[in-house]
Amino acid sequence: MEFTGHDVETATERRMARMIIYARLGTTAFLLVPLASWSRLAAPWAAFAAAAVAAAEAWWFARRAWRTGTLHDPLLVWTDVLVSLVVMAVGSRAAFPGERNVVMTALLPFTLATPAVLGFGFGWSRRAVAAVAVLAAVWTASIFPNITQKLLSDLLGFTLWFLIAVLISGELRGLAGQTVRAQRLAEERQRLLAEYERRQESLRQRESAHRAIHDDLLPIVERVAGSPALDRPTARAARRAARRARRFLTDEHVTAFTDLMAEVVESAADLGLELTHVLRIRADPPPEIGGVLASAAREALNNVARHAGNLQEVHLYAAASDDGVTVIVRDRGRGLSPGPVRHGGGMSRSFAAVERHGGTCRIDSPPGGGTKVILRWRADPRGEDLAGERSGEDLAGEGPGTRGREPQGGPPGREG
């Protein structure tokens, strides 16, 4: 049977309640002792009444405490205190004044159980200490005038039963608390272990799939994709299959803009360009912005294919964050005239669309030769031109404290 933390504490309370129930019922039997000397008592019916009240209360006490399973019950505790006081007061009247010590000795076990009830029910508290003091006082008054040295022993009994009950209940409750904490630790550990094992199993399965794709499937698909003998649709399908396989192997997080730019990369292969690329997509731009930037990048690649001469090496760089987007198409071919894009040229339509959406387009002629087409769009046009700053942070965000999405890149036709 498995206990929750709550169960352990409840069960401990119930056990403590039962201990006191047994003590309460057991000590009630002592009240029958004076009745055996019925003829020698001053008021035998008083002894009978005390025993009857005590028995009734003990029965009620046992039933209630058994049902609730706790001694944290003010009605239960105060009733027990009251009945003890009644038993002392009434029971003591059964004996002649000079023999009260004898009768009260029989009542003592019953009344000593009450400080224990107080200790278990109220613990170390003012009301409990006050109640014990009242019990001791009434006991002294009840036994008067038959005061002997035994009175000190009786009063010490009231005090010690209370203190022992406080200590025992504290120990048991502390033990229950420790058990609960240990259970919680064990449960957390169990949960984490189960989670770890699930992750390991998942990793094992992925590893197996990775191995099959990496070792057997991808090299063949890559070779097929790179074969010049293939017709264009088949080659494109093979490249797409290879891209999907690589994404699976690298756990690449794909956003809509990443997908869009990946299609631009695909289009370069159709154009016969040898494209390398770096995609640093942290946050997608609005779909219409992504669309026009991708179209412009595609157009720039078309332009490279048409004008860049025999040297068909091209590099595509795309960075996107919450600040904006930068797309750069860099070739090392014949090049175009540097400066802002002239409207009316071959790329004007798609570039004009970028500008209509608040972006900028620029063509540079780097010192190393070729052409560098730079497309930029800023989320906040009034913001700093972060994308182009060579000396500072960029849109792809190498800013400290920011979390980046892994760059995805590489040329088409690569292998694992």
Partner 1 sequence: MNGAVEGVVGIVDDHPIVSYPLADALRRAGYRVLEPVTAVEALPRGHPGGVAICDYSLPEGRTGAEAVAHLGARGWRVLATSGVAGREQALDTIASGAWGYVEKRFTTHREYLHAVGVVSAGRHYVSPLLAAFLLDDAAIRPLAGTDLSAGQRAALRALAEGDGEEEVRTALRLDPAGLESALAGAFILAGRRRRVNRLSPRELDVVAQVGCLGLGLKETARELGIRPGTVADHLESVKRKYLASHPGEKDLSPRAAALRWALELRLC
Contact region for partner 1 (CB under 8 A) — 33-41, 78-86, 87-95, 310-318?
310-318
Contact 406, 282 (CB under 8 A): no
- x/- map, 155-194, partner 1, by CB under 8 A: --------------------------x---xx-xx--xx-
Neighbouring CB atoms inside 10 A of 268's CB total 25
368 part of the interface to partner 1, by CB under 8 A? yes
Q: What is the DSSP string of 78-131?
A: HHHHHHHHHHHHHHHTTS-GGGHHHHHHHHHHHHHHHHHHHHHHH-S-HHHHHH
Nearer to partner 1, 29 or 249 (CB): 249
385 part of the interface to partner 1, by CB under 8 A? no
Closest to 291 measured CA to CA, from 316, 261, 318, 313: 261
Question: Among 123, 157, 170, 410, which residue interacts with partner 1 (rule: CB under 8 A)?
Answer: 410
Q: Which of helix, strand or coil describes residue 41?
A: coil
Q: For residue 392, what is the DSSP state?
A: S
- x/- map, 262-281, partner 1, by CB under 8 A: ------------x-xxx-x-
Contact 267, 295 (CB under 8 A): no
315 part of the interface to partner 1, by CB under 8 A? yes
For residue 281, report the phi and psi dihedrals to the nearest 5 degrees: -100, 105
Beta-carbon contacts of 8 under 8 Å, excluding residues fewer than 6 positions away, are: 176, 179, 180, 183
390 part of the interface to partner 1, by CB under 8 A? yes
Residues 90-119 that bind partner 1 (CB under 8 A): none
- In terms of C-beta density within 10 A (0-12 exposed, 13-18 middle, 19 or more buried), how is residue 208 classed? exposed
Degrees, nearest 5: CA angle 356-260-271: 95
Ranges of beta strands (E only) in 41-86 are none
Count the site residues for partner 1 by CB under 8 A. 63
Cα(113)–Cα(119) distance, integer angstroms:
10
Nearer to partner 1, 24 or 243 (CB): 243
Nearer to partner 1, 101 or 276 (CB): 276
Question: Among 24, 243, 246, 376, which residue interacts with partner 1 (rule: CB under 8 A)?
Answer: 246
244 part of the interface to partner 1, by CB under 8 A? no
Cα(35)–Cα(43) distance, integer angstroms:
10
250 part of the interface to partner 1, by CB under 8 A? yes
Nearer to partner 1, 171 or 216 (CB): 216
44 part of the interface to partner 1, by CB under 8 A? no
Residues 280-309 that bind partner 1 (CB under 8 A): 280
Contact region for partner 1 (CB under 8 A) — 131-139, 254-262, 352-360, 386-394?
386-394
Question: Among 223, 306, 343, 349, which residue interacts with partner 1 (rule: CB under 8 A)?
Answer: 223
Contact 168, 174 (CB under 8 A): no
Least distance from partner 1 to the Cβ atom of residue 322, Å: 13
| Site of interaction with partner 1 (CB under 8 A) | 181, 185-186, 188-189, 192-193, 196, 210-211, 214-215, 218-219, 222-223, 225-226, 246, 249-252, 274, 276-278, 280, 313, 315-317, 328, 330, 366-368, 372, 390-394, 396-407, 409-416
